[in-house]
Amino acid sequence: MVGTRRDILLGGLALLGAAAVWKPAFAAASSYFDGTLVDNGVTFRKTNLAKIDRKWHRQVVKYFSSEPIGTVVVDTRHHFLYVIMENKTAIRYGVGVGREGFKWFGRATIDAKSLWPRWTPPPEMRKRHPELPEFVAGGTPKNPLGPRAMYLHRDGVDTGYRFHGTLEPWSIGKDASSGCIRMFNEDAIDLYQRCPIGTAVQVLPHIADQAESTTQVSQTTPVE
């Protein structure tokens, strides 16, 4: 069927409208990146930390816990991951956690780690999103795991959950994932270096209600 001049005009206006929406959205996403970094031969976009609220920046905080030094503790409600250090301190990272229906809690260990990991969507995810590929090669721009993945196991069995980087730095501080713990790519690289195989992990709904007795955050020190 041949379109009328009115149809063509309306179609053109629709395209202009779509472009007007897409360009600001693309510009907003791009503003979360600033330049590039090279890691193990792979070039990736550097997070624009000037765009990020400082509370999500990696920093050293006061932290009182009965957990051993080196343990990783995740506070899912407040979107923080802690690596317990000596002298009642911890390194705190801002993270993104599972959205409603995908949250999980409990203990695990980091039993495997990977540099620039390949991403294989689990069968249940591909069932929800059949458009997903069977896998995405490591180090490619569309790989959602980013530069590092740390695989969480329980009693020797892979839980399916990971600590990993992200293509969406704006999702840090939000309930956004399918259960994995997302980090800024630079933070995923940093955590990977601090957590040997066998690192104990505790994922909690929250810890702030016990702040006076177990966890206390005071003046913070940025970690470069």
Considering the candidates 57, 79, 153, 164, report the single residue annotated as catalytic.
Answer: 164
* Average pLDDT value for residue range 122-137: 78
Quick: pLDDT tens for 165-186: 999 999 999 998 878 999 999 9
164 catalytic residue (yes or no): yes
Residue 131 has a pLDDT of: 78
User: For a pLDDT cut of 90, what percent of the chain falls above it?
Assistant: 61
The verdict on whether 129 is a catalytic residue reads no
Report how far residue 213's alpha carbon sits from residue 132's, in angstroms, rounded to the nearest whole number. 46
Task: Give the whole-angstrom CA distance, residue 173 versus residue 58.
Answer: 13
Cβ(200)–Cβ(109) below 8 Å:
yes
CA dihedral 101, 107, 110, 111 (to 10 degrees): -100
Indicate whether this model's pTM tops 0.85.
Answer: no
**If you average pLDDT over every residue of the chain, what do you get?**
82
Q: What is the percent of the chain with per-residue pLDDT over 70, rounded to a whole number?
A: 78
Beta-bridge partners for 152: 110
Residue of 57, 79, 180, 195 with catalytic role: 180
pLDDT of residue 26: 47
Residue 150 near residue 197, CB atoms below 8 Å: no
Task: Write out pLDDT tens, residues 10-38.
Answer: 344 343 343 444 444 445 688 999 999 99
Q: What digits encode the pLDDT tens for the residues 70-99?
A: 999 999 999 999 999 999 999 999 999 988
Q: What is the pLDDT of residue 50?
A: 96
Tell me the C-alpha distance between 16 and 223, whole Å: 45
Q: In what order do the strands lie in the sheet with 157-164?
A: 181-182, 157-164, 148-154, 106-115, 199-204, 72-75, 80-85, 89-94, 59-62, 221-222
